[in-house]
A = this chain, B = another copy of it.
Amino acid sequence: MSNERGPDHSRRKERSRQAILAATRALVAEEEYEKVTVEAIAARAGVGKQTIYRRWPSKSAVVFAALLALSEDADGRSVALPDTGDLEADLKLVMRATVEEFADPAFDRLIRALNTEIANDAALAAEYREKLAQPLEEAKKARLRSAQEAGQLDADADLDLVLEVLYAPLFQRWLHRSGPLTAAYADSLVDATLRAFGP
């Protein structure tokens, strides 16, 4: 009666796994990131340190897994951007929502922690791209392809480039705290992108 190959040793695994990830998310969201220690995670999760290290090889991996699980929960199924047929309106809606996300201090700390771990760990960065960034980008590109077919976007445009021009300025302004993140700013990024890649 073996499900896959190791069903017997998944005894109390899932409960503690979830507790560890939840505790990590909570700590990252509410504390300075330097305060987020493995011991604090273990204590908050009511778990021994070894239970953490039995599953993940390092603190970085735990933090990453915690944020990864967050996105998997939130999505449920695959993400999809609104498609009302009006590209400009749809993009402004999404960009304004993104701006508001970054305004949330908890979300801010979460993503900042993620970027810290990623910036100096190429392997983690690759996993981030594969499991978090790529799916989101595919959803965005699907919306852009729809716009290309509707003649609202240059049919020859490189969609990776379009997405970078649209999102990278927002991301950089947030990361470097180099300017205010407002709805007007979100709109102006959409406007600039559509001027650059419009039909």
Contacts and interface: CB of A to CB of B under 8 A. Distances in A.
Nearest to A195: B196
A139 interface: no
Given A119-B115, A172-B168, A192 B196 contact: yes
A189 B177 CA distance: 23
A120 interface: yes
A193 interface: yes
Nearest to A161: B188
A74 interface: no
Interface string A1-14: 00000000000000
A192 B188 contact: no
Interface residues of A, number: 38
Interface in A173-199: 173, 175-179, 188-189, 192-193, 195-197
What is the interface of chain A mostly: helix, strand, loop, or mixed? helix
B165 A192 contact: yes
A120 B112 contact: yes
A73 interface: no
Nearest to A158: B188
Contacts of A167: 172
Contacts of A112: 119-120
Interface in A64-89: none
Contacts of A37: none
B179 A160 contact: yes
Per CB-CB distance, the 10 closest pairs between chain A and chain B, nearest first, are A164-B169, A196-B196, A168-B168, A168-B172, A168-B169, A192-B196, A195-B196, A116-B119, A125-B177, A33-B120
Interface of A: 32-34, 112, 115-116, 118-120, 122, 125-126, 128-129, 133, 158, 160-161, 164-165, 167-169, 171-173, 175-179, 188-189, 192-193, 195-197
